[in-house]
Amino acid sequence: MEIKSYQNQAELLVKEYLLADSVIPYTSVICGICACKMVYDLTQLFSNVYFKSYPGLSKLQRTEWSNRSISTIHAIFIAIMSLYFVFWSNLYSDHEYAGPITFRSSALSTFTLGVLHHLLSVAGIANPMLTGEGQVYTFMVLISESTTPGINLRWYLDTAGMKRSRAYLINGVVMFVAW
């Protein structure tokens, strides 16, 4: 019974606070930072166990390895969400909403735009996130994040000494086609 009570309180917290229109941009940035830290730490644990070459890397290379995992997870999340909003959600459908497409936004679309790690793109993302204007175009640009996992995989393979492997060759071909 106590678990149900905690679950109800957690749902209320998420609904009433974290997803309240006025705090979504701030909440999403905080969630993004927490997610980055979690992925960074989990990558170190996972890599020590499953990659034989990881412990032999320099401290700088291990840091780069973990940072690239954040980049990869972020890119997958952003690419999937951008594809969803641009092609499958009803948010930008002429059948669901009236008014110009550039003024449409939702709690989820604003939250998605707030989960970012590129400091230089903050200004470019902050405007559509905070004003709700032009989000569809921002998501169209963010679909390009789908190429980041391939770029990071290429670095992982090179760092792990697999530059002459079949996986490295296939990765190169897939990256070429994706670009």
User: Quick one: pLDDT at residue 23?
Assistant: 78
Q: Can you list the residues of the chain whose pLDDT is less than 70?
A: 1, 6, 10, 12-21, 96-97, 117-120
Q: Dump pLDDT digits (tens) for 69-87.
A: 999 999 999 999 999 999 9
Phi-psi map region of 95: left, alpha, beta (phi>0 left; psi -120 to 50 alpha): alpha
Tokens 């290379």 sit at which residue?
61
Is the whole model's pTM more than 0.95, yes or no?
no
Other residues' Cβ atoms within 10 Å of the Cβ of residue 36: 20
User: Quick one: pLDDT at residue 112?
Assistant: 87
The single-letter code of the amino acid at 79 is: A
User: Quick one: pLDDT at residue 120?
Assistant: 56
Residue 86 DSSP one-character state? I
- All residues at 6 or more sequence positions from 116 whose CB lies less than 8 Å from its CB, including other chains: 29, 32, 74, 78, 122, 125
User: Quick one: pLDDT at residue 118?
Assistant: 62
User: Quick one: pLDDT at residue 76?
Assistant: 93
**Surface-to-core class of residue 139, CB atoms within 10 Å of its CB (0-12 exposed, 13-18 middle, 19+ buried):** buried
139 and 86 in contact (C-beta within 8 Å)? yes
Tokens 């175009």 sit at which residue?
137
What are the two backbone dihedrals, phi and then psi, of residue 162, each rounded to the nearest 5 degrees? -110, 30
As a residue count, the chain comes to 179
User: Quick one: pLDDT at residue 165?
Assistant: 95
Number of helices and strands (H, E) in the chain?
8, 0
- All residues at 6 or more sequence positions from 83 whose CB lies less than 8 Å from its CB, including other chains: 143, 146
